[in-house]
């Protein structure tokens, strides 16, 4: 098992392709290591020089005495695999390849990268890159990277670490962090990811005591299960992972694939997986840094109730608006407490947002009194205070801080974020007292929402209750609707009753027994699109009509597909009422079995109002999928129809997820469409299972 | 006609309720004016003192020799109206009331405010406030305000001006502007708005040569027509209005109404009006300031094509993602030009985003060459350059700036925004060269989208082509469906053919003539909910069925509403196919006739996917409404149905807007629901006109 120490805490480093020129790729890492006084042994390898940047140079790795833990490579692509072999012979744990000319170039570069990948497996040496910008371990002053950024911004250790697929953008993220005073402990760029992926870097960070927050940037994820393992590890250790997965848009995805030489995959899937496993997806770099900054107190509220205390009513309105955008609950204070506060200060708004007005100038104790009331009686999971530049004035800043510190000392683990305009030294005193500070109110709300997301993710229990069933034995060949229904019914999924008939007279008697209009559909493993060939008739009523329909459907099928195997005609009662849904699962190439739920029709096809989750999951997660739909209200009776049985629906979605997980290796997709959500149950009217092509 | 000079450029000011204590409401404005050396005459009014803050004090306004242009009032609410009368006698143009105790207190305060309002009308004196924080005119050093913010941040004149309903938040906006180095020329808070509203302040700003950008903050708009006049004026003068209309959310709206003592109204209406009249609605204060800052070059691209040039592929992906979020078009470069750039630099991505890679370090001329190619051949309306901290390094910053300045000198009026991390003095040099700079890429894209919005708004022509028809003579009493249809048909709206019958035999013959299934509906001005009383039958086919249906409907109507006036039964052919839409108009209390368009059903009722525009407007605006729907693709054939005739649909929506505008003073609402959008036309199947209650 690789550890982060194997990668970034070596006793010795060799730089193959070391250059005397500190502005070149092979020169800059060496220069960093010398100037920053890395304490381990540093061995330049350069066959044409005696010394490099004042250090003794070796003609080859083999010439160095003893083992070399870490080998940094800056030689042309064609020579890289040879270096890896030599590194293995020197018992190196890690080879980091800065050189480009691999998969990103296409053609021969792809083959070269495949060879590098195979070599990593064969030798057990971990390969970072190729085509990467390097990494650093700030505490150990270890800087195997040719970024020039650290010349302008000396890394200071801190609890935040960065994993980035992109080198240039990874440098940018580091630089912005530095400018904001955030200490970055570890920084790793993974480039083409022949062996080490961003996902594994996150996993290794999440195992560390000295990492408390992880920032990640990726344009594609190659190893879905590793990412999930990483995120589960981080969640278990209460380490927030803030993730920028870019390439959301069509143009962005295209730019990403030309940039990293791998396809981005479906964005909605990434979105769902990150959310499901407790990583927060940041939409901008600034948002990512805002959140990381606010993680410093390591307080993650496990609810969504937001209390707001402000000295400007306008700011209160603004914050309430933003809170709704971010799904937070600006719940009102209890009525009796409102009355009490009103008695204290008649001008105040006591509801929430609580507005203490300019009266605060005259009586600073209003703040602790109102704050205590909110915490004691409002039951808020987090608080935002809006103080504008008033709190930054020399007259008031420290007094207010004193009151806040004293007040909050009585409440453990309650998050209090502050909006204020203050000189840096004042802001720093707030931060040191455990109060993250922002200038902009809307950004403050966004950060609160993220920290509450983490709090809820960390509090999440229920992943271990699932019993994934045994895989199902699929029959040979394609599955008909009838076959799919039988399999899914056996898996506990609610299927409409149906009868397979092979004669017109059986059709007639079955329709009579069903007592009401029936649906009749051709059954054939060879006919996937039944409606198109005239193989479906709905609302058939009575024995005569059923007999006629049977003949009609059979004739249509034979005409359209004379060679198809026909099993007969499936008859089922027409189910009226309820709301049409669609539940399906497909096996994603990156993340495996992903379940989709939507309301079908326009909402699914045009508005893409669908929810995804990775299988398997229980009914609680399924319920989140339902509730997360924009059109969820339809299931709850919004349009005059009676509310659907959401428990039954969640149960069906969860069961499909268990089925998909159990059979992921032999499935391509499975779908129940429509699944009718009725007031007292739900019922699949059709089913389709597509087996994996071999 | 009031001018901004009447309000904020007086020759003399009297402060009624002037205090010797510079921290009190009546003391601070005086202290500001003395310290900031306002050049006009300053007269404290205080009956109990000889001097106030060193100036001669007058016992009353009347005692002051000569006229007083501006009267600032800081006396208890009950005395304010008396002061206004005295001010009128002194021929004051403006009375600004800082005092609180008016409508925001409810009860007697409301009556007092009404009196103040009436007094303003009667005397012609303009009243600002009450319950406002004041204003300033930075160039004239005129500071009639008790905000303490300007003690911490001395106003420097500039082309940006602020209009804010909220005092405390208005101060905050000023302070943040100041901290960002934005000069604020005029600053006005309007408080309770007894007379002067934020809308009029915007109008007065928009008339000024010395105002080039307007930032506005409001929790409610009381005078819709004034706002529209203001926005039209600003648009005509190419002055961007960046508007924070808060109280979007339920909690926010409630907080706003308790804060400003007026209801916020429907947010979607505000959203539509601001957009329609060319004001950009900012979602956060930071966004508002970002945009105002970037307005400095006064370049507003009139299209949406965005070119991106970057030294980080990752940043290019990120920017492309954000561009899609903001509706911008990251269109590719022409193929031949891509090939040319690739020849120049094989590692580059030449498509757009254009990635010049780290090669840029070695050859800075890549930037002007790539930029020229983008401007000459890509046809982009605006460019974003991403340079991270590289452009901030002393070695490169000025060289890059030189190249950029030289390049852009060949292209007039092309906007080029830059993302860079640089020391303030470097950023300032970029700004002075006409290049707004941002740290965060996503924020840069948001700003570009806003400036493009203004460019398109300023380029908008077509408001003057509309001929609003004469108002319609409505009959007395409520209108039946039949009556509504006749009126709308006469207004040029496409109505399904129908025949009113009063006998069963006429029903039978009519149904026969229509040749196919018909719809039959009771016609009565007294029956609004026809379906509920069994007054509607659909799909009636043949003479016998029509006869039976007639009897059935009449019987139901008589049973349900024995006293209703029954005009007969309306028969019309069933219209099959097409897509059901809903078009309506209602008379909004703030903005007058507002037209709504949506796809009906879930999309309208649950997802609120509807578009609003203020009437009247032409078909081009109606087409924007259609295209702006999330479900617009449904009308364009997304779900297998043939595309609807969008020209016919836009024409109908526009015609309804003309009807609504012409009859706004006697209408409550008008609705065509459903309006069926067919491949070759559109057709209203039902209509409802509700006249205004007198």
pLDDT tens readout for residues A645-689: 999 999 999 999 999 999 999 999 999 999 999 999 999 999 999
For residues A76 and A82, give the distance between their C-alpha atoms in angstroms, rounded to a whole number.
11
Judged by a CB distance cut-off of 8 A, whether residue B144 touches chain A is: no
Question: Are A638 and B606 within 8 A, CB to CB?
Answer: yes
Residue B429 covered by a domain: yes
The answer on B187 and B85 residing in a single domain is yes
Judged by a CB distance cut-off of 8 A, whether residue B251 touches chain A is: yes
The answer on A588 and A569 residing in a single domain is no
Find residues 614-643 of chain B whose CB sits inside 8 Å of chain A: 630-631, 633-634, 638-639
Residues in contact with A291: Cβ distance below 8 Å, sequence separation at least 6, in sequence order: A240, A242, A280, A282, A447, A450, A451
Q: What is the pLDDT of residue B347?
A: 77
Q: What is the pLDDT of residue B358?
A: 76
Question: Are A323 and B602 within 8 A, CB to CB?
Answer: no
Q: Looking at per-residue confidence, does B118 or B392 come out higher?
A: B118
Question: Are B440 and A284 within 8 A, CB to CB?
Answer: yes
Query: DSSP letters of B535-556?
Result: -EEEEE-SHHHHHHHHHHHHHH
Q: In the predicted model, is pLDDT for residue B450 greater than 70?
A: yes
The answer on B558 and B593 residing in a single domain is no
pLDDT tens readout for residues A10-38: 999 999 999 999 999 999 999 999 999 99
Question: Are A323 and B251 within 8 A, CB to CB?
Answer: yes
Judged by a CB distance cut-off of 8 A, whether residue B355 touches chain A is: yes
Given A548, A573, A598, the domain boundary residue is A573
Find residues 539-558 of chain A whose CB sits inside 8 Å of chain B: none
Contacts of B631 in chain A (CB under 8 A): 602, 606-607
Contacts of A149 in chain B (CB under 8 A): 389
Instruction: Looking at mean pLDDT, say which of A368-382, A456-470, A573-587, B645-659 comes out highest.
Output: B645-659
Question: Are A251 and B323 within 8 A, CB to CB?
Answer: yes
The answer on A562 and A658 residing in a single domain is no
pLDDT tens readout for residues B374-398: 999 999 999 999 998 887 777 788 8
Task: Verify cis geometry, omega within 30 degrees of 0, for the bond prior to B674.
Answer: yes
Q: Out of A312, A323, A638, name the one closest to residue B168 (CB).
A: A312
Question: Are A171 and B393 within 8 A, CB to CB?
Answer: no
Question: Are B324 and A249 within 8 A, CB to CB?
Answer: yes
For residue A462, name the pLDDT band (cuts at 50, 70, 90): low
Judged by a CB distance cut-off of 8 A, whether residue B34 touches chain A is: no
Find residues 160-189 of chain A whose CB sits inside 8 Å of chain B: 164-166, 168-172, 175-176, 179
Composition of chain A by helix, strand, coil, percent to 5: 40, 20, 40
Find residues 447-506 of chain A whose CB sits inside 8 Å of chain B: none
CATH number at residue A667: 3.30.470.20
For residues A522 and A507, give the distance between their C-alpha atoms in angstroms, rounded to a whole number.
12
Task: Verify cis geometry, omega within 30 degrees of 0, for the bond prior to B407.
Answer: no
A392 to chain B, minimum CA–CA distance in Å? 10
Size of interface A-B (CB pairs under 8 A): 251
CATH number at residue B139: 3.40.50.720
Alpha-carbon torsion, ordered B529, B535, B541, B547, to 10 deg: -160
Contacts of A394 in chain B (CB under 8 A): none
CATH number at residue A359: 3.40.50.261
Question: Are B250 and A324 within 8 A, CB to CB?
Answer: yes
Q: What is the pLDDT of residue A258?
A: 65
For residue A256, name the pLDDT band (cuts at 50, 70, 90): confident
Residue B221 covered by a domain: yes
The answer on A614 and A508 residing in a single domain is no
Q: What is the pLDDT of residue B353?
A: 95
Task: Taking residues A192-207, report their average pLDDT.
Answer: 97
Judged by a CB distance cut-off of 8 A, whether residue A258 touches chain B is: yes
Find residues 39-98 of chain B whose CB sits inside 8 Å of chain A: none
CA-CA-CA-CA torsion sign (A84, A86, A89, A95): negative
Residue A183 covered by a domain: yes
Q: What is the pLDDT of residue B603?
A: 85
Q: What are phi and psi of B386, to 5 degrees?
A: -115, 115
Question: Are B168 and A638 within 8 A, CB to CB?
Answer: no
The answer on B212 and B105 residing in a single domain is yes
| 3 state SS of B173 | helix
Please check whether residue B214 is in contact with residue B205, taking contact to mean a CB–CB distance below 8 angstroms: yes
- For chain A, the average pLDDT equals 93
Task: Taking residues B636-656, report their average pLDDT.
Answer: 92
Task: Taking residues A401-407, report their average pLDDT.
Answer: 93
Q: What percent of chain B has pLDDT over 70?
A: 98
Q: What is the pLDDT of residue B258?
A: 65
pLDDT tens readout for residues A474-490: 998 888 888 999 999 99
Task: Taking residues B297-322, report their average pLDDT.
Answer: 95
Residue A475 covered by a domain: no
Nearest CA in chain B to A285: B440
The answer on B198 and B66 residing in a single domain is yes
Find residues 584-613 of chain A whose CB sits inside 8 Å of chain B: 599, 601-603, 605-607, 609
Q: What percent of chain A has pLDDT over 70?
A: 98
For residue B265, name the pLDDT band (cuts at 50, 70, 90): low
Task: Taking residues A120-139, report their average pLDDT.
Answer: 97
For residues A87 and A106, give the distance between their C-alpha atoms in angstroms, rounded to a whole number.
26
Containing structural domain, residue B548 = 497-573
Residue B280 covered by a domain: no
The answer on B618 and B533 residing in a single domain is no
A431 to chain B, minimum CA–CA distance in Å? 20
Given A197, A214, A246, the domain boundary residue is A246
Q: What is the pLDDT of residue B365?
A: 87
Q: What is the pLDDT of residue B192?
A: 95
Question: Are B439 and A172 within 8 A, CB to CB?
Answer: no
The answer on B346 and B220 residing in a single domain is no
Q: What is the pLDDT of residue A262?
A: 52
Q: What is the pLDDT of residue B464?
A: 60
Q: In the predicted model, is pLDDT for residue B263 greater than 60?
A: no
Instruction: Looking at mean pLDDT, say which of A403-417, A560-574, B271-285 comes out highest.
Output: B271-285
pLDDT tens readout for residues A351-397: 999 998 877 777 888 889 999 999 999 989 999 999 988 877 777 88
- In A409-503, which ranges are continuous DSSP H helix? 424-432, 441-459, 481-490
pLDDT tens readout for residues A301-353: 999 999 999 999 999 999 999 999 999 999 999 999 999 888 888 878 899 99
Q: What is the pLDDT of residue B553?
A: 95
Question: Are B312 and A172 within 8 A, CB to CB?
Answer: yes
Q: What is the pLDDT of residue A465?
A: 67
Facing residues of A594 across strands?
A: A586, A614
Given A437, A459, A481, the domain boundary residue is A459
Place of tokens 């120490």: A5
For the ranges B257-271, B331-345, B418-432, which has the lowest average pLDDT? B257-271
Residue B525 covered by a domain: yes
Number of domains in chain B: 4
Question: Are B639 and A606 within 8 A, CB to CB?
Answer: yes
Whole-angstrom CA distances from A34 to A22, A54, A603, B350, B603 are 11, 10, 60, 38, 64
Q: Out of B351, B358, B630, name the one closest to residue A607 (CB).
A: B630
pLDDT tens readout for residues A138-170: 999 999 999 999 988 999 999 999 999 999 999
Q: In the predicted model, is pLDDT for residue A214 greater than 90?
A: yes
Question: Are B602 and A602 within 8 A, CB to CB?
Answer: yes
For residues A679 and A62, give the distance between their C-alpha atoms in angstroms, rounded to a whole number.
75
Shortest CA distance to B516 belongs to which of B580, B557, B574? B574
Interface test with A, best of B602, B609, B627, B643 (most A CBs within 10 A): B602
Question: Are B314 and A217 within 8 A, CB to CB?
Answer: yes
Question: Are A603 and B605 within 8 A, CB to CB?
Answer: no
Structural Rg of chain B based on CA atoms: 31
Residue B352 covered by a domain: yes
The answer on B68 and B187 residing in a single domain is yes
Q: In the predicted model, is pLDDT for residue A43 greater than 90?
A: yes
Interface test with B, best of A155, A265, A318 (most B CBs within 10 A): A318
Find residues 369-428 of chain A whose CB sits inside 8 Å of chain B: 388-390, 392-393, 421
Q: What is the pLDDT of residue A260?
A: 53
CATH number at residue B538: 3.30.1490.20
The answer on A533 and A441 residing in a single domain is no
For the ranges A288-292, A389-393, B143-147, B453-457, which has the lowest average pLDDT? A389-393
Joined tokens for residue A395: 């007259």
Residues in contact with B555: Cβ distance below 8 Å, sequence separation at least 6, in sequence order: none
B470 to chain A, minimum CA–CA distance in Å? 39
Q: Looking at per-residue confidence, does A264 or A14 come out higher?
A: A14
The answer on B194 and B124 residing in a single domain is yes
Q: In the predicted model, is pLDDT for residue A56 greater than 90?
A: yes
- For chain B, the average pLDDT equals 93
Residue B284 covered by a domain: no
């Amino acid at each position: 098992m690789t550890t982060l120490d194997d990668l970034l805490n070596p006793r010795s480093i060799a730089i193959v392709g070391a250059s005397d020129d500190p502005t070149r790729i092979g020169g800059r890492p060496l220069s960093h290591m010398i100037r920053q006084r890395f304490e381990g042994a540093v061995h330049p390898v350069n066959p044409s020089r005696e010394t490099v940047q004042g250090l003794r140079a070796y003609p080859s790795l083999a010439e160095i005495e003893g083992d070399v833990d870490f080998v940094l490579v800056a030689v042309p692509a064609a020579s890289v695999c040879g270096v890896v072999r030599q590194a293995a012979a020197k018992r190196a744990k890690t080879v980091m390849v800065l050189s480009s000319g691999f998969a990103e170039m296409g053609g021969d570069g792809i083959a070269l990268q495949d060879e590098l990948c195979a070599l990593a497996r064969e030798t057990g040496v971990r390969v970072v890159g190729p085509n990467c910008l390097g990494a650093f371990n700030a505490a150990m002053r270890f800087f195997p990277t040719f970024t020039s950024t650290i010349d302008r911004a000396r890394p200071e250790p801190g609890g935040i670490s960065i994993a980035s697929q992109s080198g240039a953008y990874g440098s940018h993220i580091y630089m912005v962090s530095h400018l904001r005073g955030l200490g970055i402990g570890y920084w790793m760029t993974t480039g083409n990811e022949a062996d080490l992926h961003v996902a594994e870097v996150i996993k290794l960070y999440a195992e560390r005591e000295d990492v408390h927050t992880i920032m990640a940037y990726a344009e594609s994820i190659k190893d879905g299960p590793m990412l999930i393992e990483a995120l589960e590890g981080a969640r278990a250790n209460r380490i927030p992972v803030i993730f920028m997965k870019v390439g959301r848009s069509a143009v962005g995805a295209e730019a990403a694939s030309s940039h990293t030489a791998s396809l981005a995959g479906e964005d909605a899937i990434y979105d769902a997986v990150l959310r499901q496993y407790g990583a927060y997806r940041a939409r901008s770099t600034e948002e990512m840094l805002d959140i990381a900054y606010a993680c410093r107190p390591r307080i993650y509220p496990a609810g969504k109730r937001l209390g707001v205390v402000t000295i400007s009513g306008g700011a209160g309105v603004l914050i309430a608006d933003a809170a709704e955008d971010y799904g937070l609950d600006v719940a009102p204070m209890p009525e009796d407490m409102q009355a009490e506060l009103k008695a204290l200060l008649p001008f105040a708004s006591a509801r929430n947002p609580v507005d203490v007005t300019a009266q605060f100038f005259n009586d600073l104790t209003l703040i602790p009194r109102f704050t205590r009331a909110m915490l004691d009686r409002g039951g808020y999971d987090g608080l935002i205070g809006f103080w504008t530049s008033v709190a930054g004035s020399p007259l008031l800043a420290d007094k207010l801080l004193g009151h806040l510190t004293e007040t909050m000392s009585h409440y453990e683990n309650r998050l209090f974020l502050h909006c204020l305009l203050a000189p840096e030294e004042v802001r720093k005193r707030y931060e040191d007292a455990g109060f993250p500070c922002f200038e902009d109110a809307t950004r403050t709300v966004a950060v609160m929402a993220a920290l509450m997301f983490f709090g809820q993710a960390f509090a999440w229990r229920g992943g271990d209750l699932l019993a994934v069933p045994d895989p199902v034995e699929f029959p040979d060949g394609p599955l008909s609707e009838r076959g799919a229904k039988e399999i899914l019914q056996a898996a506990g999924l609610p299927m409409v009753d149906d009868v397979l008939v092979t004669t017109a007279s059986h059709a007639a008697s079955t329709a009579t027994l069903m007592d009401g209009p029936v649906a009749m559909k051709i059954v054939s493993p060879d006919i996937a699109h039944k409606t198109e060939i005239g193989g479906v008739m709905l609302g058939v009523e009575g024995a005569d009509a059923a007999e006629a329909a049977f003949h009609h459907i059979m004739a249509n099928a034979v005409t359209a597909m004379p060679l198809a195997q026909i099993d007969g005609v499936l008859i089922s009662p027409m189910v009226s009422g309820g709301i049409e849904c669609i539940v399906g699962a497909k096996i994603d190439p990156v993340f495996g079995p992903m379940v989709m739920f939507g309301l079908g029709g326009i909402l699914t096809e045009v508005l893409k109002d669908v929810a995804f989750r990775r299988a398997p999951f229980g009914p609680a997660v399924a319920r989140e999928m339902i509730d997360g739909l924009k059109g969820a209200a339809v299931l709850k009776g919004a349009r005059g129809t009676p509310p659907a049985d959401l428990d039954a629906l969640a149960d069906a979605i969860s069961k499909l997820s268990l089925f998909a997980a159990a059979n992921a290796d032999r499935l391509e997709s499975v779908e129940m469409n429509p699944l009718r959500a009725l007031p007292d149950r739900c019922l699949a009217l059709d089913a389709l299972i597509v087996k994996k092509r071999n």
